[in-house]
Amino acid sequence: MSITTTTHLNFGGDARDALEFYRSVFGGHLTIATYGDLGAPQDAPGADDVVFGQLEAEDGFRVMAYDVPGRSGRVGTGSTRRENGATITDQPFFVSVRGGSLDEVQTYWDGLAAESEIVEPLAAAAWTPGFGMLTDRFGVTWILDVAADR
């Protein structure tokens, strides 16, 4: 038996933009269905919002997203910051991306960093050649790091 987990992100009307942005960073195949595609009247508010969205890349990256009905703007309200050398947060989760090399992780970092808030710059840490944290323009906090040698 095997199991797979996939991060499912909730948005307030910008799930399509977020998924397209993540595809520009990670590549992959994007599947999007709207509430209208599944039977909501096309002229109803939110008919163009995403009810099912998934990005899946050949390297194993996968994320799902949808627009919470009746919500607009950022769904999450948590914050993350560095203070006295520690990461202080009230976020319920982070999305973690771990690559095999610093070059690989740097490429993803550079893509996600556009219009983001850098919490911890991507740099060497005691346990890895690269670790960084940022909150992207959609309010999602990402941790990127390089798999440590065992």
Q: What is the pLDDT of residue 93?
A: 76
Per-residue pLDDT at 47 exceeds 90: no
pTM score, whole prediction: 0.85
Q: For the residues of 99-141, what is the DSSP string, one character each? A: ESSHHHHHHHHHHHTTT-EEEEEEEEETTEEEEEEEE-TTS-E
Task: From 67, 95, 113, give the residue that closes a domain.
Answer: 67
Same domain (yes/no): 95, 137: yes
Same domain (yes/no): 51, 86: no
What does the pLDDT look like over 92-113, one tens digit per residue? Answer: 678 999 999 999 999 999 999 9
Percent of the chain with pLDDT over 70: 87
Same domain (yes/no): 106, 85: yes
What does the pLDDT look like over 57-89, one tens digit per residue? Answer: 999 999 999 998 876 766 566 666 777 666 666
Q: What is the mean pLDDT of the chain?
A: 88
Q: What is the pLDDT of residue 84?
A: 67
Q: Strand pairing of 117-125 and 128-135?
A: antiparallel
Give the total number of structural domains in the chain: 2
For 88, the domain range is: 80-146
CATH number at residue 22: 3.30.720
Span of 56-60, 83-87, 123-127, 139-143 with lowest mean pLDDT = 83-87
Phi, psi of 19, rounded to the nearest 5 degrees:
-60, -40
Q: What is the pLDDT of residue 46?
A: 83
